[in-house]
Homo-oligomer: A and B are copies of this chain.
């Protein structure tokens, strides 16, 4: 099994300065490279302690690129709806070259109303912008003299520089959470997949993965050629009770920040976002203990986490856990220990 680490900053300036957050994340990325982790991922979000420290995943990954040798650098994910395809294609191509071809690109539709409002983009167009942006970027990477006549962008003929290093393109992942259409579309295009089980149930998510894999097969892509990354919180300690207690605290804070972000929009536009109330109630109810019961978190001693990993592989098939090891304002020592114990005592149990 391959495993990676996943930065989804959930800190406010009052808790941890951005200098400290990025110093620590860089240190953990270098550690990931050294300990044999497969990938380092970071998100694109704005404005709120929920992800907002990382409005541009490429900027952080470029900083990681020149301090690491082999770990793959994953945008998890870029949002085409908020970025011009020419700019994003060029920026990602620079990173692919700076890292000597270690870039994996994730694309997401985005889902926070406030982000769409700030960029003056209607959420109703999010799927169309997502698909058009990805298609435009893929053409800019693969072709010269590209003429693009899309719904949202028109340009060309232009030849993008620099050319990407990985041929024909860096691997592309689609971030999908709950919409069956998204899973089918990602599969039918032959893309790789990023998913997050903890906001749903594993049964539902396993069904969505089946849709994805079947769509991929139906489109002629060989079985097993897909790469699937699963976002999951991970906290390992030789003292399992302490791991549960501390992780539960940080996880509660993480969820509270997630909910704050939604509530900000519900307060501003109560009728428009009334449907989000159920989701918030659902999130509030789901403690870390419940995640553990449902195999939706890795927490405890290395032995316990080995069993949890086996359970997720059992239900989801061949996937790469992309692990949040520094959620909320956790001290770096906790993240470092999690990564060291997981690398030494969990990963070796899943060879190949």
Residues on A close to B: CB < 8 A? 13, 17-19, 21-22, 26, 46-49, 52-56, 58-60, 62-67, 82-84, 86-87, 90-91, 93-95, 97-98, 100-101, 114, 117-120, 153-156, 158-163, 165
Residues of B contacting A21 in the complex (Cβ-Cβ under 8 angstroms):
97, 162
Contact A59 B165 (CB under 8 A): no
Contact A58 B60 (CB under 8 A): no
Give 27 CB contacts A-B under 8 Å: A17-B97, A17-B165, A18-B93, A22-B94, A46-B90, A46-B161, A47-B158, A47-B159, A48-B161, A49-B161, A53-B162, A54-B94, A55-B91, A55-B94, A55-B160, A56-B58, A56-B87, A56-B91, A59-B95, A62-B63, A63-B63, A64-B66, A114-B158, A118-B155, A118-B156, A119-B155, A120-B154
CA distance A95 to B91 in the complex (A): 14
- Copies of this chain: 2
Chain B residue with the shortest CB-CB distance to A84 = B119
Contact A22 B84 (CB under 8 A): no
CA distance A74 to B236 in the complex (A): 41
Contact B91 A59 (CB under 8 A): yes
Residues of B contacting A86 in the complex (Cβ-Cβ under 8 angstroms):
46, 55, 118-119
Contact B55 A87 (CB under 8 A): yes
Chain B residue with the shortest CB-CB distance to A148 = B118
CA distance A87 to B54 in the complex (A): 10
CA distance A15 to B139 in the complex (A): 23
Residues of B contacting A58 in the complex (Cβ-Cβ under 8 angstroms):
56, 59, 62
Additional A-B contact list (17), CB under 8 Å, known A17-B165, A53-B162: A13-B163, A18-B94, A18-B162, A21-B162, A26-B66, A26-B98, A46-B160, A47-B158, A53-B161, A55-B86, A55-B94, A56-B91, A58-B59, A59-B62, A59-B94, A66-B66, A84-B119
Residues of B contacting A63 in the complex (Cβ-Cβ under 8 angstroms):
62-63, 65-66, 98
Q: Kindly provide the distance from the CB of A335 to the nearest chain B CB, expressed in whole angstroms.
A: 18
Residues of B contacting A100 in the complex (Cβ-Cβ under 8 angstroms):
19
Q: Kindly provide the distance from the CB of A35 to the nearest chain B CB, expressed in whole angstroms.
A: 19
CA distance A118 to B54 in the complex (A): 27
CA distance A91 to B82 in the complex (A): 13
Chain B residue with the shortest CB-CB distance to A53 = B162
Residues of B contacting A46 in the complex (Cβ-Cβ under 8 angstroms):
86, 90, 158, 160-161
Chain B residue with the shortest CB-CB distance to A120 = B154
Q: Kindly provide the distance from the CB of A77 to the nearest chain B CB, expressed in whole angstroms.
A: 15
Residues of B contacting A163 in the complex (Cβ-Cβ under 8 angstroms):
13, 18
> Which 6 A-B pairs give the minimum distances between C-beta atoms?
A55-B90, A18-B162, A52-B161, A62-B62, A18-B97, A56-B91
CA distance A170 to B160 in the complex (A): 30
